[in-house]
Structures are given as C-alpha cells and as structure tokens.
Chain A
Amino acid sequence: MSRSKYRIGIDVGGTFTDFVLADMGGRGLRFHKEPSVPGDPSAAVESGIAAMLATHAIAPGDIELIVHGTTIGLNAIIQRRGARMALVVSKGNRDLLEIARLRLPSSYDFTEPREVPLVPRDLVFEIDARMRSDGSILKPLDLEEVAGLAQRLAAAKVEAVAIVLLNAYRDASLEAALGAALRQRLPGVLVTESGLIWPEVREYERGLVAGLNAYIHPLMTRYFDRLKARVDGLGVTAPVYITANNGGTLSLETARARPIDTVLSGPASGVVASTRLGNATGKTRLITFDMGGTSADIAVCQTGAPEFTTATFVGDFPLIMPVVNVGAIGAGGGSVVWVDAQGLLKIGPLSAGADPGPVCYGRGGKEPTLTDCYVTLGIIDPTTFLGGRMVLDTKAARVALEAVADRIGLAGENRAIAAAESALRVASAKMGTEITKLLATAGVDPRQFSLVAYGGAGPTHGNLLAEEAQLTSVTIPTAPGTFCALGAILADVRRDYVRTVRRLIGPNAGARNGWDAVSDAIAALEAEARAWIATEGEIVGETEVAVSFNLRYLGQAYELEVFLPRGPRDGIDDTTVCDLFHIEHERLYGFRESKVPLQTATVRVGVIGKVPAVALPEVPPSLPEPFTHRSVWHKGQPVNTAVYARRDIGAGARIAGPAIVEQLDTTTFILPGWRADADRLGALSITREVAP
C-alpha cells in the first residue's frame, strides 16, 4: 500500500481546539480535540498535531497541507487588545472615527454608549494632503510636513499606522508615497494604506478596513511567526494556510500582510463545510445553525454556495469587505435562564460561558442555562458528556431550575422539568424568529430550507428549532463538534478585489457610455488577482474569477449587486450586465426601467484557486440497535427513548423519534413524530414522520 498524504484542518475555540485529519488516500477522516491554551493558541495547535501524528503513526513529511482558522484577530478587536496605533488623515477630517456614521446604537436608550473609537483622538494626525474625487491630486505631499509627522509618530511610540486620505479610493499613489516615506523613517512600524488594502468609496468604512488591519497587524504577525516555528519544530514541512472571511483560505504570507481578511473566518468555515455536505447529498437550500456555548450563528445558502455580504460588523465596527453572511442569534448552551420583575421567563443575552459555565458543570455557576435544561430533561446524559471527561451535576441543575419555576408560578414535584421545557420553548421561539427575519431579508420561504445543525449544542437543539420554525428537515453531519475544522480543509484559496468606478453603461447611455473604462478596470483587477494567486503556492490548481457589480438606475437612491456567470467573459458586454440588473430589479421590485441608463458604482473581482478536493468519506451500511433506553421529558411526559451510539449508525440506517444519538462531542435529539435517516456519508437527515 502506497503511503498516503494528509491534510490537517484546525479550528481554535474558546474551550477546545478542534482538528480534522484527512487521509488523501481515501481512508477517511480522523478527529481530535485538544484543550485550548488561551495565552498562546499555537501551543494547542502544536500539541494537537503532535498527538495526531503519534496516534495515527504518520510521518511529519506526509502532511501536505495545514489549514488553520484563528480568532485571535477578532478577539483582539472585541477585547480591544490590539496595537498602539496611529491614524493619519487628510486635514479637516480628524474626527473620522469620532463622528463615524453619526448613528448611535440606540434610539430609545440614552444610557447605551457609543463605540469607543478604534484610535483615540490624540493619536489621529492630520496631513495637508488629499485627492479630488476625479483621482487627481488636490494637495500634494509636503516633504517637510511628512518629516514632522514621522517625528510625531515616533514620539507617540506607535507600532502600527493606518493612512486614510480623502478620495484615495480613486488612486492610492498619494497614500502609497506617504506610506513609503513613513516606513523608511520608522523602521519596524507596520503601515497600512486604505487605498491599497480596500479601495472603495466612503472614507469611514474604508478607513476602518485600514485601521483594523493596522490594529491587529503586529499581534497577528507575531502569532503567525510563532505558529510557523512550532509547526516547523514538529518536522512538518507542509505549507500553512489561514482561513479567510470569504470562506476561502490564504497563504501564511498573504494573511500576514492582510490579517483583516481573516477576522471573521471561524463561522465562514462551518458554512463552507455545510454547503459541501449539502452538495454531496443533493441539498442546496440550507440554513446553517452553529450552536455553541455562548451564541448560535445562522446563515442562509440558497444555491449550494456560501452567500456574501458587504455589510457586517467586527465588534463595534462595520466591515465592507465581502464576507460569508453569518448572523448571530443570542442563544447558546450557556445562555442564562432567568425571570424578570414581571414574572416573564427570559433567555440570555447573558451567558455563563465556559467558566463558570452551566450549573451542572459544578464550577460555581449559580444561574441555570439551556445546558442545564437539556440535562434536567434527560436529553443529555450527565455521565457521558464530552466522552465522560466531565460528570454533570444533575441535582444542582434541577435545584436551580426549581428556583426559576417558583418565580414563574409553576408548582409540584416536577416543576423543574416544566421550567426547563418552557425555557427551551422560549429559546426556540426566539431563534425561530431570527430565522424568519433572515429569510425575509433574503426574500425567500422557510419551508424550502433544510437546517444543518452543528457545534456542541446544534444537534441537541436543531430538531426543537425546526419544529418551532416549521422547517421540514434537519441535517446532522457525522462530526458536528469539529465541523468548522473540516470546513477549513474543504476550502479553496480565495481573495477579493474592489474598485469604485462610476460610469454610465448600457444602450441608454449613448455617447456617455463608459463601459470601456469599467471593462478596463475589471481587466486590471483580474490581472492583479491572477498575479497574486500565481504566488499562493503549489497547492493551488485551476483558477477562476468571479466578477460582480454594484449598479443602479441613474438617479436612483440605491444600488443592487449583480454577479456575472463564472467562466470566460467573451461576449459579455454592458448589455449583459444591464440585463442581469433588470432581472434582479424585477425580482425584488416587480418592475424594470428599460429606458434609463445604468450607473456602475463598485466592481468586485474574486479570484479562486481550486485546491484538490478532500473526498467526504462514505460509511458502510449498518442497521443500528439502541445500546440503552432512558426516560426523556417531552411535553410534560416522561417518554421512553432509545439511545444510539453515533459510531453504530451506518448508511441507510433509519431511527424513529423519540431517540437520542450520542457521540463524543454532542448529543442529537430526535423528537417524537420525526425520524432520522443516515445517508451514504453517515450524515443524519431528520424529517417529519407525519405532516404537522
């Protein structure tokens, strides 16, 4: 037998670092969990890789690829532990971050504070240099002023600098010249130019891309260096890639230069894995549901591919780069169950997190959480939680829930049960409304969608949520607890580019038709993108580009994004683009304006480098038997429920609810009236036995 090559996907979470090892010889996937090391996440990465190499007797040289997802950048932004940095802006624009986009977080609540600006006002420096909106220079650099600025920056002892000059999205040369001058005068200081990192119109949002990149730049550089050293130390010679916000991956070198591209990669990887699983099993309309300890993430996929948004948030700050569109809904296993002064039962937003955690963890948690509800109802077995690494205190959970029951007027011996079921109903109702709203935003009907449930609590709550939200099916992947790590090695290399090009196009533009300029801009972006991907390493195979436009009818107040079909663009001209726009406009608004010229605003090019696919392994057929039965409370009654081990479930297995499926990192609950069928990949598909 020839020696296999292997790939390792790694996802760092708050409690555990997850590993997936793919045997490229087709002998399946292996999973591993290593306790995270919050002080130095790369330590857990190192020990986890070492453990997998040892367990599976793999030589370090046989690893061909490591793909790593990290939340270090995101955490640094949320906890404000980034670099001491300066912002350099055009004269008159010093309060870019103070005024921001003017809106405050609440219209009702005057106590809700605004965000703390990324850079304090005394580290924002003005320079009398800027562009005009046509891309010409209004005020050139004054070398003496630059020298003075460099001195002030040196005196301020900053590690990083972001440069945001007005209208630099049209031409970054002025920023680049300033950046070069500062790098020369301030060795060791990392400089980010807004017009180079993301040249899109809107100074605040573009400024934040540059600012956030600079803010995490020193930290991420140090982390990537440490990571590389640890991987090298194991004798692993494989290249390390980092997962990106857009569901793709980036070489370590690119991630080091543009760490902002990686901050939202965690949830994106789960969506990538969901769509791959969906495509393999013929399900393309998905709602992903990643429920962990503190929150749940959801995303809608209508065509079997992750969907992007250019309007998301990183901590307090808007981000305009294309990222996989994932929304957070405020309930995780650790969400606290409480009662307000009027006697209403509330879930969250407070979370007990991993520490102290739910009451049943016995680590000092006093307030009951959703996890305490699962345990009290018998859905989770207290003795096999996390493979028995932690024995749960059922009695403590029950006592805490009895206190809740007393406050909402429930009585009797089983009042903790009633309180737990009520809490799960409220949680499901809350999450269900979030799903409805997300689908309304996309303008689609929930009934056609399948829920893909993963994360530690996703499989436990997925069926409850589907019942409440009137969804028709729930898919549980084979290893729901390490699904994001799997997504990392399923992803292709991808980076996005943007230009702002405001031109009239289409048959109605007449002599003012500026399609040539638009088309030149796309060609230039594509050339830049292809030059970049050529340097992204040997793992990159076939490449393709994805082109999209933001457009509007001339004089209209809003833009729509339209996507060109993938593949060669021969024969695609402005008429094609206009037609795509008319169709999308008609879909959303019910009409088109065929006599008005179209105006372009933003052009985006995504370059995708295909990475040879990891085959999702098939499982042999088997018809499982329950290894035990236990009583699970449902709708106020104890129900005798069959309990299965996930490893016993093979292709073609059918399990009728009520049933429990246990595995190392999660518990799947199948409701009465539903049944689960295992497909050839071993994924469980839970559907209604009878129509509601």
Chain B
Amino acid sequence: MKLDPILVEIFFHKVTAIAEEMAITLQRTARTTYVKEAGDFGTALATPEGRFFAYPKVMGVSGFLDSNVGPALSRIDHLEPGDVILTNHPFESEGLATHMPDLHLIRPIFHEGRIVAHAWDFIHSADIGGGVPSSISPRFSDLYQEGFQIPPVKLVKAGVMNEDVIRLYTANCRTPEVNLGDIKAMLAALQVGEKRVHGLIAQHGLQTFLDAQDDLAEVAASKALAVQKQLPDGTYAFWDLLDDDFNSKVPVRVRCELTAKDGRVHLDFSGTDPQVLAAYNIPTGGQRHPWLTLKLMHFIYSHDKTVPLNHGLFNNITVTAPVGTVVNPEPGAAVGVRSATAIRLNEALVGAMSIARPGLMPAPSGGIMIPSVLVEQDARTGARHVMVLQSLVGGTGARLGADGVDGRDSSLANQRNTPIEKTEEEAEATIVEYALRQDSGGAGRWRGGTGVVFSVRIARYGSAVLGRGMERFVFRPWGMAGGRPAEKARVVVNLGTPKERELGKLDIFYPDPGDVVTIMTPGGGGYGDPLDRPEDDVLRDVEVGYVSREAARRDYGVIITGSGLDRAATDALRTSMRALRGPPPDFDFGPERDAWEQVFDDASMLRINALFMRLGSNVRPQRRRELFERVIPDLPKVGVVPLHEVIGDIDAARRRLSAEIEALAAHVEAMDVAG
C-alpha cells in the first residue's frame, strides 16, 4: 500500500460517503417511481480509467459495482472540464448500459487540467420509447424495437447543456417531463460528487487522493482473494436453463465453467446457447461484467463483510464470454429482459462453486421477479388505467446452516412490495390473498424458503393481467447437497372452483369480471438430506404452516398426528426411506430437467451449439426451434403439461436427436465447403 493504513481507512469512509451523498441527492430529487420506490438507480466514483473505487453500501442497485465507464468515455474524442457524457447504449458502451431505459451519465472530474476521477450515476427511467410503454417486453426481437438508442454523447459540453440532445431525447420518450426531471436530478448528484472530490483533494492533496484509489482497490482485492482461496484448484462446469426462448418452447441453456487456481477465478461461458430473437440477451461486451460476476460478489461479501466495495474486489476474476451467445450478443440484439437470463447464469455459477466446494453458497432461490400489472378499463370512457399489482418473488434457497427466507428474495433486486391497501386504492379489483405458499420450499436438512400465493378478484370488464419475467414454470429451483428441488411457478384462474384452469406462463391474460387470477411463485431449493432435518424442526414447520402434514411425511419421513409428533413411527419411516432411496444426489433438479438432460446431455448440447455458431445469428433461432421440435414433437405443450411427460420415450428421443445432429453437421459442412 502507498498510504498509511489510517489514511486508507479514513478515505474508505470519505469516498463511500461521497457516493452515498450522491445517491441521497439523486433519490431526493428524482421523479420516477423506479428511483423513488424501487431504488433502481446507482451512483459511484470511478478511477481515471473508469472502474469504480467508491460505491454506496446501502443505497441504489448493488449489482453494478463491476461496471466500467471506460469504453463509453473512449468513444468521445476530447473531454474537458464541465463535460457530462450521456449513454443508454448497450453495445456502444460495451455493457455499461445493459438495457436502454437505464440512462447513464458520466462527469469527468478534472484537477489542474488532468482527469483525476469520474462521477457516474444511472437511473432506470420511466420510458425510452419503443414498442410498449415503459419500453420493456420479452417479445422484442431486436434493439430497434426497444426504444431510442443513445451512443455516448456530450449532454453537457464544458458546462453548457446541449439542447439539441435534449430535444432529440424528449421527442423519443413517452414521458419527457418526468425523464427531464430525472436527468436534472442525476446532474445535481454528479455535481455533488465533483464538489466533494475537490474538497477531498483540498484537504488531503491530489497524490494522496490518487494513491487512496489504488490502495482501496488493493485492500478489496486482497480480501477477496483470501475468500476466493476457499475454492479448491480445479475446473468445474455447471449449467441452468431458462424455460424457453419466448418464440418457442425451446429452453435456453447458460453454461459456466469455473476454473480456480490459487484463488484466482476464471469463468468460461463457452457452450452457452446462441443469442435469441427475444429480449433475453445480456450485453456484456465479452468482458468481465456485473451480470457475469454477481454471485462471486455475493460470495466474497458474505464471507468477508469488511471488504470495501470497489473494483478491486474483482481483480482476481477473468471471463470468457464468446460473441454470438446470450451472454455476449452481437450488436443489435434485444436485451430488455436480460435479468431473466442473468439469474439463470448466476445460478449456474453457484452450481459450479458448489461442485468445487459444497457449502459455500446457498441453493438457488425462486429465481424470478414478476412485476405483475393490472389494466382496468372505464366502461364509459374506455380510459385504461395501468397499475402494479405486486412485485412477486419466490423464497431464497437454503444453505449450510440456515433455512431459506420465506416469500422474499434479495439476490437480484432488493425491491419493496406494494401494500394491498395502496393497490386497492387505485384498482376496482380486490386482492383476496397474498400469503406464503405451503410446501413450495425445497425439502432439506435446511429447508428452502417458500414462494408466495397472490390472488386478485377481477371487477371490471376488459381487464388484463400482465406478468413479464415469469420463469421456473418448466424447470425447478434445484436442491443442493441432498436437498430437494422446490415447487415450480403456476398461474391458475378460479383455483379450487369448477371453473379452475391452469394458464401456465402468461405474458398477458384477459379475465372476466369475478374471475380470481392466482399467481404462485417457486420456493427456494433445499440444502442437505431432508431425512436429517431434526424432527422437531419439521414439527415446528407444520405448526406454523410452512409445511403440510402430508409433505412432512412424504419429504421428511416425519409423522405428525393430531396428538403431535410420533417419534417411534418417524424413526421407522426414516430408516425404511433411507434404505429404499440410497444416498441422495449432490444436485436434485427434479424430474423435468432429469428427463430433458437424458435426451439433451451436455456433450450433445456442446456439439449442437458449436454447429449453430457457424451459422449466421439470425438464421440460428429458426433452425434451433426446428431441431428441438423434431426431437420432441410435443414440446409446444410444455408449461401446462410437465416437461418429462411431454418428452415421453427417452430412447426414441435420443435416436431422433442423433439423426438431427448428423443432419445439421452435414448441412454445416456442406455450407462451409460451398462457402
């Protein structure tokens, strides 16, 4: 370290406070709900090269710590004091912006003519144009449908607002007033950052300020490396699947190969499925990126809470993310719902870490975020009223030593819910239930958190219920170290009545007045053998209602009667269950994924993807769909019918797959010869 340890500690507090003061300023004066209520914004100070050395601990989005403002700045020829750069461009910023409603501003901070830091902030703005209000839909197949693209430009040039940019921008979003208010708030926050940095330099001197940037990163790197050394040397592969690619029922597989060596970690995403013609692609620029390293950050921070939040935390992590895959799409790909893929990717990363050393990470959570929305129509005027019903998430996964959290999940976005009373103030509809979902958490020595049940009774004609981000309808959150997988998600209309109907995953649904629409979210995966769960813990779960008596018997081998726990019968049942079952698997994916992978095993998938990658990115989706649907003819029925039932005869499917691969290979070879 260049500075004495006392100064480093003092700088840690001071620069963190600057980032937090910027966040306070931004949140106090911003105007959209995303910022005010959900906290979907960020602030930081970056090194002259563009990596964050100061980041708030409690305010805004935690996930963007590993961002890099350098590439966006490199697009600008000449930076001068008073400039502010604006961009929302996922590709021109090389993954600083990861979808276009996110507006990013960067203000280079000069001292005596040289750049000594950058102030950065971003907000998720209310709208950036494109095909739907609020600009996000999985159905978009390219970036142009997702709204107004802003490559890095000078919003402010030497202190003077570039009114031409403002005019172009406001003409291209549906809520220009609100957006402009947000931009003002962002500019104010950057100014606070610059002023405080100047104050810091005045108090401590420039060289100390620059040295502190390096020292803080060094401290973070050293603490992170100590945690990373818990990963034994070796290479560990794991993958997880998105239910489908939106345009068909073909799943999207994200594959992660983690190599650990002396604590240094390399993540290789080769073999991940090709980019899709839906908004599920993650723009990373093919470099180390927040969406690729999120779970490593959680791992490091959870194992050492004193690590300063800065780029140094990632110093000993490298990645390979091949271009043309969903984790590094070619420019022009749609990216709006990249978070859905990012969740699966990070669960694959958790799996790889858990092979390396079981117990380091929790089992996966419910793994979804559904901002469910209700549209009501005024019968006379026809006016449409759009409101958030609820932010629905599942429970968190269990981990070595602790049950998962029921009905909540902070792992991707740690948002607040909407009070029932606030929803009912706006809506005619009635919320009839918002409760934990019994038996939805994966069974285990430590139980996965339960999901939730959310039911709304529709009041008006012409109402619509929307829910993007629906996942885990096909594949379950898996169990770990002998733990069982959780329940899948469901959407049902008129549950428990003669008119009950399973809807499966929905993008938009038009119910009738009086209908009750019920959304059930998945629980988190279980950890450890459920037969090892102390019977008194199971009894308590039954008493408070997280687990039913039937599930206690079926999953845990614990017999609870009207008079309480039957210990003798429980012992006998557990003994016989153990004998019948044998040792539990390290990872339990449930029957759906087991059946799928008996057909589409890792080697076959790698082969298929290698072949597809030799086709043009716009050609692949149709060819992929045809291949999978020829192997599994009933695939379009999946969702309402479980996947393993859709697959049917595994051997027959395997034979069809072999034939398809050979045909594809022949085609590609022929194409190469011709080309």
Contacts and interface: CB of A to CB of B under 8 A. Distances in A.
Interface string B392-419: 0100100100100111111100111101
A111 B397 CA distance: 11
Interface stretch (A245-253, A425-433, A608-616): A425-433
Contacts of B399: 110-111
A629 interface: no
B181 interface: yes
A409 B36 CA distance: 45
A433 B13 contact: yes
B302 A132 contact: no
Nearest to A104: B410
Interface stretch (B149-157, B430-438, B589-597): B430-438
B415 A102 contact: yes
A233 interface: no
A203 B419 CA distance: 7
A593 B25 CA distance: 21
A138 B37 contact: no
Given A93-B420, A120-B544, A169-B421, A108 B9 contact: no
Contact of A201 (B63, B226, B422): B422
Given A95-B434, A342-B222, A590-B184, A422 B425 contact: no
B632 to A, nearest CB: 36
Contact of B434 (A92, A113, A167, A440): A92
Contacts of B297: 108
Interface in B119-172: none
A422 B5 CA distance: 10
A643 B411 CA distance: 56
Nearest to A428: B10
B543 interface: yes
B31 A557 contact: yes
A205 B219 CA distance: 40
A99 B301 contact: no
A345 B12 CA distance: 11
Interface string A251-286: 000000000000000000000000000000000000
Contact of B415 (A98, A103, A169): A103
Contacts of B302: 108-111
B414 A408 contact: no
A114 B408 contact: yes
Interface in A538-576: 556-558
A103 B410 contact: yes
Contact of A426 (B9, B185, B543): B9
A107 interface: yes
B436 A106 contact: no
A617 interface: no
Nearest to A407: B5
- Output the residue of A92, A343, A556 with the most chain B CB within 10 A: A92
A556 B36 CA distance: 11
B24 A440 contact: yes
B272 interface: no
Contacts, number: 182
> What class of interface size applies to chain A in its complex with B?
35 or more
Interface string B204-242: 000000000000000100110010000000000000000
- Output the residue of B29, B298, B419 with the most chain A CB within 10 A: B419
B293 interface: no
A204 B393 CA distance: 18
A130 B294 CA distance: 43
B62 to A, nearest CB: 4
Nearest to A92: B433
Nearest to B62: A107
Given A111-B302, A441-B24, A102 B223 contact: no
B268 to A, nearest CB: 25
A640 to B, nearest CB: 26
A384 to B, nearest CB: 30
Interface string B277-318: 000000000000000000001100110011001000000000
B362 interface: yes
Interface in A502-559: 502, 556-558
Interface string A107-146: 1111101100000111000000000110000100000000
Given A169-B421, A409-B5, 17 more contacts: A99-B417, A99-B435, A102-B417, A109-B298, A109-B302, A110-B396, A122-B545, A201-B421, A341-B223, A408-B6, A433-B14, A434-B17, A437-B21, A443-B28, A557-B31, A557-B33, A558-B31
27 contacts: A93-B433, A93-B434, A95-B435, A95-B436, A98-B406, A98-B407, A99-B407, A99-B452, A100-B408, A103-B416, A104-B405, A108-B301, A109-B298, A110-B399, A132-B430, A133-B425, A167-B424, A201-B422, A201-B425, A202-B421, A341-B226, A342-B219, A343-B5, A408-B6, A437-B17, A437-B21, A440-B25
Interface of B: 4-6, 8-10, 12-14, 16-17, 20-21, 24-25, 28-29, 31-33, 36-37, 62-63, 181, 184-185, 192, 219, 222-223, 226, 297-298, 301-302, 305-306, 309, 361-362, 391, 393, 396, 399, 402, 405-411, 414-417, 419-422, 424-425, 430-436, 452, 455, 543-546
